[in-house]
Amino acid sequence: MRDRILRTRLYAMNKNLVQVRSVLDAVRNWRQQMEGLMGLLGDPEEGAAEALGKASADMGHLERKPGIDKDLVARMKKELESAKKRVDDAIEILGSIERRALNIQEDGDLGKTLRLQIGLKAEGWIKTLEELDRGLSNGGASDDQMKAAWRKYSREVYEESVPVFAEYVDFLGGLALRDTGFDEGICQIADDLVRRCEMVPEIPAWESMTIPAHKEAVSDTLARIIRLGFPEWTIWALPLTSREFGYVVASKNVDLRNYVEKEAAVGQSEYMTHCMADAFGAYAMGPSYAFAAILLRLDPRSTPGGHGQKPSDLERAHVVLTMLRQMDKSSEGRPYKVIYQQLSAEWEAALEQVDTSGALDSATRQQLEDWVEHMRNFLARKAEVAYLEGNWRRIQEWTEHMKPETVKDITLQGTEDLRDVLNVAWLSRFESPFAKIETLAEAARKLWERIEQSRNRKRTRTWASRRQ
């Protein structure tokens, strides 16, 4: 036999693909086990906590009967109460885990995406592997047949499946980090933030999931998985999550897609779409996106020309700063002028420090600026995603209260959202470079909790008025 190497690899690949195919089952099984444990402990009729509570009450009745060793009963009652407290503590911990855990519905957008882009692709590769294995089963394949089998395995299964395996590992790893609370709830906040960016024509209701990952990426394989890049699994990177939705807008909206097809040079459509995604992020998130991109994410050591079909960080920075400048010029009173000038100066200084100053030629700059202007005009006409200048002016008054103990003094109007929190947090950090970052982050969390509570009360009042 001269096919053992190939047949061994066919078996190993098949085994792994079977696991990948059942990605939703793996997630659901974990959820079901957790729900089962929660039921055993906390079921109001048959749970362990309820049983211990009843047993403790029975001990109380028994204690009052004559001839009973009351000291023994009292000790047993105390032990039952202690056991019930431990069970109650366990229920509270499980409840916290359950609240963090994302419920992926199979018929929801995210469930369908996982099934289509991982499950069904794996199913197709499994069928190819089975065909190859049947062709080798009699052990008498000719040299030409063996060469053809190797080519089919390499090109149609191995090379195509490697990116999906990487997505699968990233997804499960990120999901585990998120479920354990390692990200301190940041990914849940990011999910809420992205949902608030969906007021764009022709784009369906958006269901996505944010996970901690080793790098930020607009995902081509799993289009509804948003990666929060290391090392900033913190509130400071949250503005950048809007770029993922911006990519969807630029690639799915008919008007924008037609514009890209018309303006992009041959082979440049993907590059242009990524630029438009950054333009969307800056427009929807306001200065907080520029702060996060320039100060935290983009690398001044990058070289122009991008990497394959994606823009370089130099080009991305120019897009972000251009959008901020155009938003400033189109607003009354030039509200972003100072921030734009300061961030531009910081970026130019960094470019000089790493010897890449002036790397973008004038033609590239003009092209990027034209694309940004088109995106801004489109969003201004057809979408309700802009971070409004009125909000920016109002949050500037909040900076003096950005301490955990004083955020309660900020006057809320009931219209605020997470974008206001991120903008005031970044503005406070930028204006006070020596302030304790952790203190600002804690203040931002407390402010977000206040806004959420205010919105929940408003929703409750609205619901109650409709019931009357």
What does the pLDDT profile of the chain (468 residues) look like in tens digits? Answer: 577 788 787 888 887 777 666 665 666 666 666 667 777 777 777 777 777 777 777 777 777 777 777 777 777 778 878 887 877 777 776 666 665 555 565 555 556 666 666 677 788 888 888 888 888 776 667 888 888 888 888 888 888 887 777 777 777 666 666 665 655 566 666 666 666 555 565 555 555 667 666 555 554 445 456 666 655 567 888 888 888 778 878 888 889 999 999 998 888 899 999 999 999 999 999 999 999 999 988 999 888 775 457 899 999 999 999 999 999 999 999 999 999 999 999 999 999 999 887 778 899 999 999 999 999 999 998 888 889 999 999 999 999 999 999 999 999 988 888 899 999 999 999 998 888 899 999 999 899 889 888 766 654 444 445 444
| Predicted pLDDT of residue 3 | 72
Task: Name 359's Cβ contacts closer than 8 Å, sequence gap at least 6.
Answer: 303, 304, 314, 351
Structure tokens at 233: 């699994």
Please count the other Cβ atoms lying within 10 Å of the Cβ belonging to residue 138: 7
* Cross-strand pairs, 213: 229
Q: How far apart are CA 102 and CA 188, in angstroms?
A: 9
Core vs surface per residue 171-196: b (16+ CB within 10 A) or e: bbebbebbbeeebeebbbbbbebbee
- Note whether 7 and 136 are within 8 A (CB): yes
Quote the crossing angle between the two packed helices 70-100 and 23-42, to the nearest 10°: 150
CA-to-CA distance for 420 and 238, rounded, in angstroms? 12
Angle 167-279-367 (CA atoms, 0-180°, nearest 5)? 110
The closest of 362, 384, 380 to 372, measured between CA atoms, is 380
Report CA dihedral (385, 390, 392, 395) to the nearest 10 degrees.
Answer: -120
